[in-house]
Structure 1
Amino acid sequence: MLIKERSEVLATPLTTTVPREYVHRAALSEVFLTGWHRNGPDSFTVTAQWPRSHCFYSSEHGLYDPLMLCETARQTFPLLAHAAYDMPFGYQLSWRDLRYEVDPSGLHIKGTPAEVELRVSCSDIRYLRSLPASIRMHIELVRDGVPFAVVETEFGCHSPEVYRRLRAGRGDAAGMFLGAPMPTAPLPPGLAGRGRDQDVVLSPSGELGRWRLRVDTAHPVLFDHPVDHVPGMVMLESVRQAAHALHPSRGAVLPLSMDVRFNRYVEFDSPCWIEAEALPGESAPGRHRLRVNALQGEASAFSAVAEMAVVSAF
């Protein structure tokens, strides 16, 4: 009987994550993708699982954090670049733009972790010596057979030689990471929509609608491994926190959509300023829009328009 039971267990399909190296993460706990298969020459299905609770992508309001969706899409870039398009390990990816929109009805947390399917179409693929140099992805996210979010994004793929030229001497991840300044003082967590100081990415500036980007390279999620610049996910988090800080009286809000441009790398060694302004009118009851710009050295490093929704409306 014991042998039979053991054989039945072994015959049951097992779920694992994809190798962490394929999604450029160090911690296994931060890998959300569980598998992939090819549907056509440039069409794929990627599967993911979202935990019901996460130390950073908070689910305290009974809804998954839309930025967990963004991180899931971000992990899809290196996975498919490596596994489907033969990009060698050691190549670097750079985000160019990101647009997403999510229906909050697909974010409700249920009794088991969410099984998410990503239907991916790749286009505008530019090759250099038979390897991808840039890829655009259209991603439809599906849960329980129902589409609930769309992501459109483009990223570049850079060989070590190209990346060294692109970074002009700043491409030493270990050196830049270890040499990063100590983080500045955080905004009070409540103003940023956070519960802990360590999760706050904004510091006070003394000016309304303007904050200094707070970079804490010891953060275990935002800085999962050494990098030579501030990661894109930190910049997306700055948009969410700026929306909270701009109108803290509105209470908890969710970023239901963003339209983002990554204009240049955000460096560790000079201040980056986050400026936000509310855009007029409501796109729907309980929803409002804002524009956020990140300035470093008088140049725009990042810009976004986001739609925020008050959580109490759901």
Structure 2
Amino acid sequence: MASATLMPSWRDRRHDGGVRSGDGDRQSVATATVPGAYGRRTAASEVFLTNWRRGTADSWVVSARWPRAHSFYASAHGPHDPDPLLLIETLRQAGILLSHVAHRVPLDHPVLWRRIRYDLAPRAPRTADEPAEVELRVTDHDLVRHGSQLAGARQEFRVRCDGADLASAVVDYSCHSPAVYRRLRGRYSDPALSRARRLPLPEAVSPQLVGRDRDREVVLSPTGRPDRWLLRADTSHPVLLGHPADHAPGMLMIEAAWQAAQAMTPEVTVPTAMDCAFEGYAELDAPCWVRARTTADPVAGPADRGRQQVEVGVEQHGKPVTTAQVTSVPIAPPLP
């Protein structure tokens, strides 16, 4: 889940060469970079969206560009492109962008994940030496409105990278007015106060155990058990918590699930699919526990040899916060 208070509306700007269609939909110019406020990002380098336009009825096309190298969205085992976390971050930014520019959700209304699922195409991941051009075709489903205000939606994504199929995904989210959000969150609704009450950052597990190469990239802390960890929520992390938040955001929970799944296998793997549900808020002032267990994989053919499925649960105060099923495959060693 994620929320933030944002800047004045980009769709109301007239001076940058964009056009306003007759029904009020605002399109960006092809050379523009989407303002970070529309993806809950304060650093321009973390904004990957470049353009959007209307597709067919109830559908949209969002363009993005991925850097050749990134300080965080890169695994310790080599330049695999894309890092699936980069894919999810792009889905997150696109969903929030469309909630504002296509569905007129006000910029100060939090947009919160309820569920996200993705599946990489068989050709992914791949390696690349140049920035990747990404196209997301987004279709709206199950729109829920309270009066004229959008309250929730399910979006289906078909993602192409450099002209080839890359992934499919589904994102289910809800929207709340600031007043409703304050009632839901109570004393936790203020990001500054929530961060002031945060727990001290615990030690990190070995980065190599979870497919990372630096302590700062690690979001799990050891407990003495190989299948249970304490969540590390580093509020100074410029990517995972690179925007004001009153709780541990969804991207941090997804990274925790991935790292837990990696810790359950001695091989270096890439997560080719994930189904993640957000059932509550992970507060910053209390321990959050991450558990994982390997599940039996259905009968697999030769192409699926080595595939592993891991169920991950995150709990706080004895209640579930996030649940995820992660499917991973080993990364073949490089050819001599």
Q: Does 1:178 align with 2:227?
A: no
**Overall identity of the aligned pairs, in %:** 41
Q: Measure the CA separation in 2 of the matches of 1:211 and 1:14.
A: 45
Q: Deviations over 1:271-298 (max 9, x none)?
A: 1110000112375112111100001111
Alignment match, 1:255: 271
Q: Deviations over 1:236-291 (max 9, x none)?
A: 101111122122x21x2111101111000111111111000011237511211110
Tell me, which stretches of 5 or more residues in structure 1 are unaligned?
1-12
Match of 2:324 among 283, 296, 304: 304
Q: Measure the CA separation in 1 of the matches of 2:80 and 2:177.
A: 42
Q: Does 1:267 align with 2:283?
A: yes
Q: Does 1:290 align with 2:306?
A: no
Q: How far apart are 1:192 and its partner, in Å? A: 1.5
Please say if residues 52 and 109 of structure 1, whose CA atoms lie closer than 8 Å, have aligned partners that are also in contact. no
Tell me, which stretches of 5 or more residues in structure 2 are unaligned?
1-28
SS at match of 2:210: coil
SS at match of 1:90: coil
Q: Measure the CA separation in 2 of the matches of 1:192 and 1:102.
A: 20
Please say if residues 199 and 286 of structure 2, whose CA atoms lie closer than 8 Å, have aligned partners that are also in contact. no
Q: Which runs of structure 2 are paired with 1:118-129 in the superposition (5 Å)? A: 118-129=136-147
SS at match of 1:105: coil
Alignment match, 1:26: 42
Alignment match, 2:10: none
TM-score if structure 1 supplies the norm length?
Answer: 0.92
Structure-2 change in CA distance of 1:66 and 1:104 (3 Å) = farther
Q: Measure the CA separation in 2 of the matches of 1:97 and 1:148.
A: 20
Q: Does 1:154 align with 2:172?
A: yes
Paired residues, number: 300
Q: Does 1:144 align with 2:162?
A: yes
Q: How far apart are 1:227 and its partner, in Å? A: 0.6
Please say if residues 177 and 226 of structure 1, whose CA atoms lie closer than 8 Å, have aligned partners that are also in contact. no
TM-score if structure 2 supplies the norm length?
Answer: 0.86
Indicate the RMSD between aligned Cα atoms, in angstroms. 1.6
Please say if residues 41 and 242 of structure 2, whose CA atoms lie closer than 8 Å, have aligned partners that are also in contact. yes
Q: Measure the CA separation in 2 of the matches of 1:218 and 1:134.
A: 30
SS at match of 2:209: coil
Q: Measure the CA separation in 2 of the matches of 1:111 and 1:63.
A: 9
Q: How far apart are 1:313 and its partner, in Å? A: 6.6
Q: Deviations over 1:109-154 (max 9, x none)?
A: 3232110100000111111231110011000001233222001110
